[in-house]
A and B are shown apart, each in its own frame.
Chain A
Amino acid sequence: GENVEQHPSTLSVQEGDSAVIKCTYSDSASNYFPWYKQELGKRPQLIIDIRSNVGEKKDQRIAVTLNKTAKHFSLHITETQPEDSAVYFCAATISGNTPLVFGKGTRLSVIA
């Protein structure tokens, strides 16, 4: 089955700097890659997603890139703010066959 590896497990950045979180997946048939943000004590919430027919997607300060050949995808957060501090999860799935498989998460701390 699918396996998703996520790095780093913790990340600290200064406010205003950029943060990058990387994930690799094992099954080349995977075609949907969402990212979730989970604040302390809260539910995971979708922040951005990308499908395999797209190489990059942006939404304000957040972007996701996908490299199907290398089987990895990354989350980029620019101009980080203290409210970006949270745990971020990547996930992958094969359409119509299996539920999402999640990475183990990255705890991002933005230092003011």
Chain B
Amino acid sequence: NAGVTQTPKFQVLKTGQSMTLQCAQDMNHNSMYWYRQDPGMGLRLIYYSASEGTTDKGEVPNGYNVSRLNKREFSLRLESAAPSQTSVYFCASTPDRGVGQPQHFGDGTRLSIL
């Protein structure tokens, strides 16, 4: 099993460009999450999807949109990239939102906005 797979691993964009980060999991998990990680800020939740067909905002949703395409895939879109969105983006999944649900993370996407 691959677990959680993120593509691409690295990307450089110019300000104003758009981009979609892809995430797929093969563990039959119901819930999926997008985080951004900045130095000294820990992991901050952007959006999450508790189950197929639902999405909810997290702590820092501004400038992002998400799509839960099916149970396996959860994509994150930057419509008009800004330098403040330079970060490492992690996708994660859990079986569901119940107690004691460790999150499984992907390897991350390193995104630079010039």
Contacts and interface: CB of A to CB of B under 8 A. Distances in A.
A100 B41 contact: no
Contacts of B58: 99
Contacts of A68: none
B100 interface: yes
Interface residues of B, number: 22
Contacts of B33: 99
Contacts of B42: 6, 89, 102-105
A59 B96 CA distance: 25
Nearest to B106: A43
B79 interface: no
Given A89-B42, A99-B48, A104-B42, A44 B99 contact: no
A32 B108 contact: no
Given A43-B105, A43-B106, A99-B58, A31 B99 contact: yes
Nearest to B6: A43
Q: Chain A binding site: helix, strand, loop or mixed by DSSP?
A: loop
A6 B42 CA distance: 10
Interface string A86-98: 0001000101110
**Most chain A CB inside 10 Å of its own CB: which residue of B97, B98, B99, B107:** B99
Contacts of A43: 90, 105-108
A102 B59 CA distance: 11
A96 B45 contact: no
B98 A46 contact: no
Contacts of A89: 42-43
A26 interface: no
A95 B98 contact: yes
13 contacts: A9-B40, A32-B101, A34-B103, A44-B43, A44-B103, A51-B99, A51-B100, A95-B97, A96-B98, A99-B31, A99-B33, A99-B45, A102-B44
Q: Which 3 A-B residue pairs are closest in the complex by CB-CB distance? A: A95-B99, A104-B42, A43-B105
Interface of B: 31, 33, 40-45, 48, 58, 90, 97-103, 105-108
